[in-house]
Structure formats: C-alpha cells, structure tokens
Chain A
Amino acid sequence: MRILIVEDEKSLAGLMEQTLKQHGYAANVVHNLADARAALTQPFDAIISDRRLPDGDGLDLVKELRTQGNGVPILMLTALGMPKDRVTGLEAGADDYLGKPFSLFELIARIKALLRRTAGAKGLQLEAGNVVLDTLHDTVKIAGKSALFGKREVVLLRHLLQRAGEVVGKDVLEQALYGNTNKEEGGDSRNALEVAIHRLRKLLETNQASLEIITVRGVGYMADEIKAA
C-alpha cells in the first residue's frame, strides 16, 4: 500500500511518514502541489493532503484528480476546521477530512477506514479485530478459522466492517437487507433488522470474535474491536 503525503510542514510530514511506515504502509512525501502532480504520474493507494500549500490549495489537486476520473481515496488535512470547510472539502471530492491538530492514531484509523471502503468495493478482504470477511466469496474467518454465516449476516457484516469504528445508519442497513422498503412494511423490516443484528451478535460471540456490534439507539449500529482489557 503506497500513500502520498502532501504537506509543507516538513516535521509533520516526516512524523506522518514514520507512523505510516510503522503500520506497514509505504509513504512518499512531497511539500507542494507541483511535486505532488509530478509524483502522481505513478499510482498511489491513497493521498493525504494539506490544504494550504505554498503553491496553492490542496482542494485544487482533489478537483483535478476527480475530473481526470482518478478515484484514489483522499484524506484532507487542514487547519481550517470549520464545519463549512469540511463540507466544501467533501463536496470537492475528498473522501475524508481531518482537522489539525490531530492524533497520529486517528490518522491511521482514518486511512485504514478509507482503504477498507475502497477494498470492499474492489472485492478484497475486510478486517477488524480477528474477523476477516472475504468480499469476493462472502466467507468469514474468525481467529483464522472459517465460520458459517448466513447470507443476511454477511451482508450486515460487510456494511459494518466497511465502516468499522463508525456508526452505520439503520436506514442504510435496512436498505442493504431488503432493498427499498416501503412505509407500510417499515415496522416489519425494523424488527427484521433487529433480529438479524441479534443473530450476527450471537454468531460473533459463539465464534469468540474480538468484534462487537454496538447499538446506537435512534441512529444505527457500529462494529468495533473489543480491546483487550
């Protein structure tokens, strides 16, 4: 996995590079837009870019890439942390937005999540805790051992793992399970979702997965690793 870091603050760029390497990623650092454009003649799996760069706005790079049809996941870093700036960033085509100052752990988590999302789409493996989901064959391995999961549970797990550590809305999961639910069936499908989640939890539990499904009442569900106490 190769990641391009576009950041003019050299010490911060260096620290990010170091951390990414510690987590098993290859990283290249550039300090301005011109160098970034030059580096992007080669393929990268993700880009981390600052917004305020000596020769322009990092968002312009995002727009360029998107108009070229380049869908590489991009995480914007910025000192302009207003909600409005976040919206402009995401609208320009960035995949995520991290305000400065940030924790390196947060950065790694966001990069992982970004790569996971694109991996899911590409038909690769989704991983969280000791749970591995092969999205190509829809098979689940827990702690290295194959586990038998029903079709619905796999669909749920895929959606939750793609955004592990984030809340996935009930409506998204319902749609994933049943397609477009109409209003009259609303009550039924909601019950059905709860039943499916319950079954998924049971399966994870009996297979001793280090992954739990958290209910956020009124919002949705979140898959999160169980940290060893």
Chain B
Amino acid sequence: MKSKLLNFPKSFLKPRLGQPWALLALPRGQAGSLLGRQLFRIGLILLVFGVGLVAMTGWLLNQAGDRIQDEFLRRQAAELVNGMQDIPGGPLQMRLPNETLNAYAQRRDGYTFMVENADGLITLESAPMARAYLAPAMGMMAQKPTLLNTMSRDGSAEAMYILTMPVHTPRGVYYLTVGQNRTIDDALLATATTETFNRLVLWSAPFLLLALMVVWSVLQGSLAPLYRLSGKVRALDVLGGETLALENVPRELRPLVESFNLLLNQLTRTLEAQKGLTADTAHQLKTPLAVLQARLEQIDPFKGKELLLKDVQRMSRLVRQLLHYAVLSQQTANLHPTDLNATVRTVVASLVPLARKADISLAYDGPEAPLVVQLDGGLLTEAISNLIDNAIRHSPAKGTVDIALTPRGEYLDIDVKDRGPGIPPTEQALVFTRFWQGPDVPHEGHHGGAGLGLALVAEVMRQHNGQASVQSREGGGSVFRLTLKA
C-alpha cells in the first residue's frame, strides 16, 4: 500500500508546459491511486497555504520592523520638540543634555535633525552639515516616517527615514525634521526578522510532512469502508442471487451499493431467463426429436432406414451436447467428498452396454479402496462419460478401451486409453477447445460430434481446479487424462 502510494508515474511530476494545472490530472488512461491522488492534492494545497502563511508572516515581521522604526523616529522627534526652547528676543535653542546633542552631532545612532522656520530658513541643525543630508526632505513636509534617498558625506547614496513635525511657538511655526540613517537599526531588525523567518521556514517543512502523514492516515481510514465493501463483493454468491446488505454502509457509498445491487438483480434475472430458455429449448427440441426417432423405428424396414436413424441419433447428440455445455458453463460445481473410485467404476459399468453394441470391451484398473475427493459427482460423471464415449466411437471393432484411476503423489489421474486413429501432436493442444472436429474419418456419421464433448470435459475440469490433457498412446491411439488434486 505504502509503496504504491509513493509510486507516482514519472510524467506525473514533470510539469507540462502551457498547462501547469495538468499536474493535478493523471496521464490519459491511468487512474492511479485514489489515496495517492488525494494525498498529492491535499499536499499541494497545504504547501500553497504553508507558503502563503510563511510569506504573510514574513511581511508582517517586516511591517513590525518598520513600525518599530517609525516609533523610534516619532519618539526622537517628540524628544527634540520638547527640547526646543524659543526664548523671546534670543535665537531658537535646543535644550538637551550635552551627551545627547553630541550623539546627534556625531550621528552616533544615525540621527540627524534640522529646524526650519515658516520661511524655509534653517534655524537649527544637529551638525553643521546636517542640512546636506536632509536636503531632499526640505519642502516635503513628511508627516509620516518616509524613506528617502539622500547623499552621504562621502557622496555615496544613502537611505534615510524622514519625519517632519510642525512646532507651534509664540513666535510662529517651525518645522522640525528628523532623519535616521536606515542602515544602522535596520540591519539589526533585519537580522532579527530574517532569523525568525528562516526558522519558520525550517520548522514548517517537518510540520508539512507531519500534516501529510496525518492526512494519509485519515484518508486511509476513510477508504476502509471501501475496502470492506470490496471484500463483501468478492464473497458474494452472484449465481445464488445474493445482493449486498445496506446495513453499516456509509451514506456516501449507498448509491454505489444500490446501483450495484440493481445491476446484480438485472444479472440474476438475465441468468434466470437464460436458464429458463435453455431448459425450454431442451424440451422443445428433444421431444420432437424423440417423436421422429420413435416414428422411424416404428416404420417397416426400408432402404436407407438405418442411415436416417443414425442421422437422428447424431442430431440428438448435438442437441444434448449443446444444452449440456450451455447449462454447464453457467453453473458452478457443487463440490463435496465423493468416492472417485466408485464414481469412475459406475460410469464404466453404465457404458458397457453402449460399448457392446459397438463390439468394444471396457476394462477398469482402479485401486481396491475408496478414494474420497472433493468433487461434483454429476459433473465428473458427465466428463468421464464423454471421454469413454469418444473412445468407444473411435476404437476399431473388437478393441478395448482401458480406463485407469491412478494416485500420483498429491494428484489423481483418470486415464482413458483407446486404440483409435489417434490425434496428431499438432492438434493435441486444440482438442479441448470448443467446436474442434477431429480429422476427417472415412465413414461419415460414425462419430461426428458437435465438437463440444471435450470442451465440456475441459469446463468440468476447470470447475474442479483440475486439468484435462491428451497424449499419443504407445502402439497407436490416444490417452486422455483428467488430473485432479487428491
């Protein structure tokens, strides 16, 4: 089960150009495994969701980083606004601890600020050239933290977060602009978020695998009723008219079971009809044939009477064989312990009168003790009768047909040996097929059968898990052998 599950067709994994959705479909003509297909689809869905979730988490982490940065910038701005002192008559001053001011001046944490008045004149700045960094922000009035590209001291490009806040004083409005070199805190934050993100990706892989395993076992469990159902179907005696019980069948499987039962009922009805038809045909054909034969026998001898009688008998034989074959091929053997030795002996005894008419002797060589085997006595009688009957009709007058029952290890051989013309080795494999006719024999009508007798024998043996075979007999003739398991 497991190996089958993983055994995807190779083409399955090869995405087809132009139709990537084809990955979800199976190659033409292949149904694959229901479980495998579902697992693949659910796996794909899990993967898409997983990737989406991870991507979203990454994006949110990034956003969080940005918000942290924004918050820092806002706090910085608030600190600076608090520090601004507008002394009447004097210049605008930034009253902050020296250390803080030094930090700004040296851009220790990457912070820079400047203050403009309403006319756009710069009245304060963190360091003499701070305006150079913040130049792009002038006139922008970035009321939200905004990322801008500025020029660094050495002239290289530099990304900077900018925030401009209006400060209302009695002297008028000033604009405080704070900037932070992005690279400094960003690097720290990025390291944290990337690490978290990587860890998430790393952990989600085994999680996905675990989820797939859970899905697999759930799917397996959900398919169990299907397995149970197929077991029940296999054990069904269809010929006996059995149908599936609806009890304990899950609702989803009910339509299937109901359709199946409907089909079974139709099948049973058809079989019944056919059986009836066969029996009817038997009655319809055999009775007129019996009348014909009886009438012929009642008429005073005339030229050709014997030939006509033979024709009628031949026709009767054909009808009988056809019907036996038809009935046999639609019924199953009813095997029960039976004495094979007695069965064969009885068949031989019953055919002695027929053999005597053809001036043939029958001889049976069997064991002394009974040989009890699982078999259908009626069917086996039919098969052995057919073989002996054939042998009688192919044997020359005054000949003997030898019948033997021989235990051979775990098998039992029933041999029927004649001294007839024999069967060419090239034909031997064909004799048990339907409608096989022996090589032409000069006196026509002597043995012409329907070519069903041996097919019937083969069918009986098939139903007994046995075998029918034919070999050439040493010194001329054939040996027909039925092999049964002891």
Contact = CB atoms under 8 A, between A and B. Distances in A.
Contact of A100 (B287, B350, B377, B378): B287
B485 interface: no
Contacts of B382: 82-83
A34 interface: no
A108 to B, nearest CB: 10
Interface residues of A, number: 36
Interface stretch (B27-35, B290-298, B411-419): B290-298
Contacts of A19: 294, 297-298
B282 interface: yes
What is the size category of the interface that chain B forms with chain A? 35 or more
B320 A18 contact: no
Given A80-B282, A82-B324, A83-B381, A219 B349 contact: yes
A216 interface: yes
B8 interface: no
Contacts of A11: 291, 295
A104 interface: yes
A167 B352 contact: yes
A23 interface: no
B346 to A, nearest CB: 9
A52 to B, nearest CB: 6
A84 to B, nearest CB: 4
Contacts of B352: 166-167, 214, 216, 219, 222
Given A52-B283, A87-B378, A218-B365, A12 B294 contact: yes
Contacts, number: 110
B349 A169 contact: yes
B414 to A, nearest CB: 13
Give the residue among B291, B295, B350, B382 with the most A Cβ atoms within 10 A: B291
B279 A101 contact: no
Nearest to A77: B290
Interface in A89-108: 99-105
Give the residue among A15, A16, A84, A220 with the most B Cβ atoms within 10 A: A84
Contacts of B362: 216, 219
A219 B312 contact: no
B407 interface: no
Interface in B270-325: 279, 282-283, 285-287, 289-295, 297-298, 312, 316, 320, 323-324
Contacts of B364: 216-219
Interface string B324-360: 1001100000000000000001001110110010000
A102 B324 contact: no
Contact of A99 (B320, B365, B377, B378): B320
A81 interface: yes
Given A79-B287, A81-B320, A216 B363 contact: yes
Given A15-B291, A79-B282, A100-B289, A219 B298 contact: no
Contacts of A55: none
Contacts of A87: 377-378
B289 A101 contact: yes
B291 A12 contact: yes
B379 interface: yes
A218 B327 contact: no
Interface of A: 9, 11-12, 15-16, 18-19, 52, 79-84, 86-87, 99-105, 165-167, 169, 186, 214, 216-220, 222, 224
CB-CB nearest 4 A-B residue pairs = A218-B364, A83-B378, A101-B290, A167-B349
8 contacts: A11-B291, A12-B291, A16-B294, A19-B298, A81-B320, A101-B286, A167-B348, A214-B356
Interface of B: 279, 282-283, 285-287, 289-295, 297-298, 312, 316, 320, 323-324, 327-328, 345, 348-350, 352-353, 356, 361-366, 368, 377-379, 381-382, 403
